[in-house]
A and B are shown apart, each in its own frame.
Chain A
Amino acid sequence: MNKPLPAKAKVPLKQRTHNTLVYLRQHWQLYLIFMLPAFVLTIIFRYVPMGGVAIAFMDYNPFRGLWHSDWVGFEHFNRFLSSPDFMKYLMNTLKLSVFGLLWGFPAPILLAFLLNRILSSKIKQKVQLVLYMPNFISVIVLCGIVRILLSPTGMVNMFLGTNYNFMTMPQAFRTIYIASGIWQGAGWASIIYTAALSNASKDLKEAAVIDGANLIQQIKTVEWPAIKDTVLIQFIMAVGNIMSVGFEKAYALQTDLNMGASEIISTYVYKKGLLDGDYGFSTAVGLFNTVINIILLISMNTIVKKMNEGKGI
């Protein structure tokens, strides 16, 4: 047993080898087995299309391909920025997401506070089971439910004794979209806050109770500080996604008649690009959308950093 130990075992993990080549030879598995599949997929399916963004500045012709199509500069951008339709779709997108954020963001936080008021953990669990359930319904089925409940002969009209066709009213679209979003997502989104609330210090809470703090004061001094950071992170992420309103749901709730409110940038990009074959134009619109999104995210992060003593994301 006095054979020397294998070289690798002599180096404790924490002690860094300073020679990169030695490190790579010792830890080749980390690169070739663990990292390679993810890296290759990322390069092919995420970075190659980024190069394809060049199409936004081209008169792209599928038969001539990317390398032989003509450059047109900012022509596509000029075209959609000067079109009144585009401004309408941009506003539709913004309104849908800003109002969606205003109503949808506080809902799960409120739910978490409400859930925290339930005194029996058994009942709480059952309530949570019901609240989470709509999250497992697909977008298509959700929109199917919305459509049949709101149809002229559906539940809502039966209940009101009327026969409105809500799905054809542009003025009803945003309410339908946002309300159904809260219906489906608020319960599930509350999990993260419920978890943060359960981390609120029990001692602190007991101390507050002994000091005679009422519920409102307890929420202010113990519970809110416990979830403040989570709320902030969630808020930054929500704002960062403001321009990426989901295609799937908006498209499934669209009808020919509510298009005035329901046509948003992502559905427009899809129709222009894949249905009309206007590749360059559609890519330009999509790129414009991404750029706005990034600007929003960066400025949001800066503001939050300033407000929150240098803590951003």
Chain B
Amino acid sequence: MSVANTTVKKKKSEFAKYPAGDKTILIVAYVILGIFLAAIIVPILYIILASFIDPITLQNKGVTFDFSKWTTTAYSRVLGNQQIWVGFKNALIYSVLFTIISVVITLLAAYPMSRSDFRFKRFFNTVYVITMFFGGGLIPTYLLISDLGMLNTIWAILLPGAFSVWNMIIARTYYQGVPHDLEEAASIDGATEMVYFFKILLPVCTPIIATICMWQFVGMWNSYFDAMIYLNDVSKQPLQLVLRGILIQSQPEPGMVSDMQSTAARAQLAELLKYATIIISSLPLLIMYPFFQRYFDSGIMAGAVKG
């Protein structure tokens, strides 16, 4: 109670320091910010509420607080479906493996590029930077994956995008901020580059490593294009492809609505299932992400230093 009082007082006094004209500006700023926040919160809140409403009521009246019309049927139907879980499992496998492969390769490559004495640095730099602006495009890449026999395998998802030039540049910039004394000391002690890299450099780079890990994990978890063109088996589909069927193509998994008698009832239920599916599928990342928030600023700053 007393704590709350003091913070209120402090805020008031800080706000009071501003002259009258500035106060108006501040209030306008808060109003705009408030509108933006509401624009984010209201739709999400609506979807959460709507996911509990009986399908017929939802179609006719929208969200209601008449609790007799509330039901958890959407959740039991979505969670009771096998394919959602297959999707979750595949997405987790792909995302974890992709993050490991990608981060290891990228962090390794960034180290030589961060050293001023690295021979052929310009050559490597040119080779990598060109790929940021020019590429073969969809069909040549697809044909290559096909020729390599990687169609419908996990490698088509994991390998082509594993080395990220962008993340390499960010990691390199971060390494360059680490004092060189450490490197010289290690070199005089006779430590090899491997030893220096793993024992000394990486431990002081956790913010940037955490940031890149998060980017790669979230990126893979949320993408669907590669899986859509390279994977045919239903059993290999990641979550986003399963979601695409339910949310975009309006084709719920067979078991979810098949007990409904009329087409209309099936359509209404399919619509309701979308709300629950959105909540269920987004929850894991939305719960996890606040734990990474403390890394955002330091990580992003490192990337911002030079494009």
Residues of A within 8 A of B (CB): 6, 8-9, 12-14, 16, 20, 23-24, 27, 29-31, 33-35, 37-39, 41-42, 44-53, 55, 62, 66, 110-111, 113-115, 117-120, 122, 125, 127-134, 136-141, 143-145, 147-149, 151, 153, 155, 158, 183, 186-187, 191-192, 194-196, 198, 214-216, 230, 233-234, 236-237, 240, 247-248, 252, 269-270, 273-274, 279, 282-283, 286-287, 289-290, 293-294, 297, 313
Contact = CB atoms under 8 A, between A and B. Distances in A.
A45 B11 contact: no
B41 interface: yes
Nearest to B224: A140
A246 to B, nearest CB: 9
**Interface of chain B, main secondary structure:** helix
Contacts of A155: 43, 46, 50, 62-63
Given A130-B41, A216-B25, A140 B184 contact: no
Interface stretch (B67-75, B76-84, B137-145, B251-259): B137-145
A114 B29 contact: yes
A282 B222 CA distance: 26
Contacts of A42: 127-128, 131, 163
Contacts of A110: 32
Nearest to B117: A16
Contacts of B222: 136-140
Contact of A34 (B111, B184, B243): B111
Given A49-B141, A136-B218, A120 B11 contact: yes
A140 B108 contact: no
A119 B247 contact: no
A212 to B, nearest CB: 9
Contact of B15 (A46, A119, A240, A279): A119
A254 B221 CA distance: 22
Contact of A120 (B7, B139, B163, B187): B7
Interface string B104-145: 111011011001011100001001100101111111111110
Contacts, number: 294
A269 B108 CA distance: 35
B163 A115 contact: no
A148 B275 contact: yes
A114 B36 CA distance: 11
B192 interface: yes
A230 B193 CA distance: 34
Given A136-B285, A145-B47, A41 B105 contact: yes
B33 interface: yes
Interface in B251-307: 271, 274-275, 277-278, 281-282, 285-286, 289-290, 293, 296-297, 300-301, 303-304, 307
Contacts of A286: 137-139
B199 interface: no
B80 to A, nearest CB: 20
30 contacts: A6-B190, A8-B190, A9-B187, A16-B117, A23-B117, A35-B109, A38-B106, A38-B108, A39-B127, A46-B135, A53-B140, A114-B29, A119-B15, A128-B293, A129-B293, A132-B293, A136-B222, A137-B282, A139-B222, A139-B240, A140-B224, A140-B243, A149-B46, A153-B59, A155-B43, A155-B62, A192-B301, A215-B22, A215-B26, A247-B225
B247 A141 contact: yes
A49 B135 CA distance: 7
A16 B118 CA distance: 10
B1 interface: no
B293 to A, nearest CB: 7
A114 B26 CA distance: 9
Contact of A37 (B41, B108, B244, B296): B108
Interface of B: 7, 11, 14-15, 18-19, 21-22, 25-26, 29-30, 32-33, 36-37, 39-41, 43, 46-47, 50, 58-63, 104-106, 108-109, 111-112, 115, 117-119, 124, 127-128, 131, 133-144, 159-163, 168, 180, 183-184, 187-190, 192-194, 197, 218, 221-225, 229, 240, 243-244, 246-248, 271, 274-275, 277-278, 281-282, 285-286, 289-290, 293, 296-297, 300-301, 303-304, 307
A144 B307 contact: no
Contacts of A113: 29
Contacts of B307: 233-234, 236-237, 313
Contacts of A52: 136, 139-141, 143-144
Interface centre among B19, B62, B218, B244 (most CB of A within 10 A): B244
Contacts of B136: 46, 48-53
A313 B274 CA distance: 44
Interface centre among B59, B106, B109 (most CB of A within 10 A): B109
Contact of A141 (B40, B134, B193, B278): B278
B221 A138 contact: yes
A196 B133 CA distance: 26
Contact of B140 (A119, A137, A247, A283): A283
A196 B306 CA distance: 12
A24 B119 contact: yes
B273 to A, nearest CB: 10
A237 B169 CA distance: 15
A51 B137 CA distance: 11
Contacts of B46: 149, 155
A55 B225 contact: no
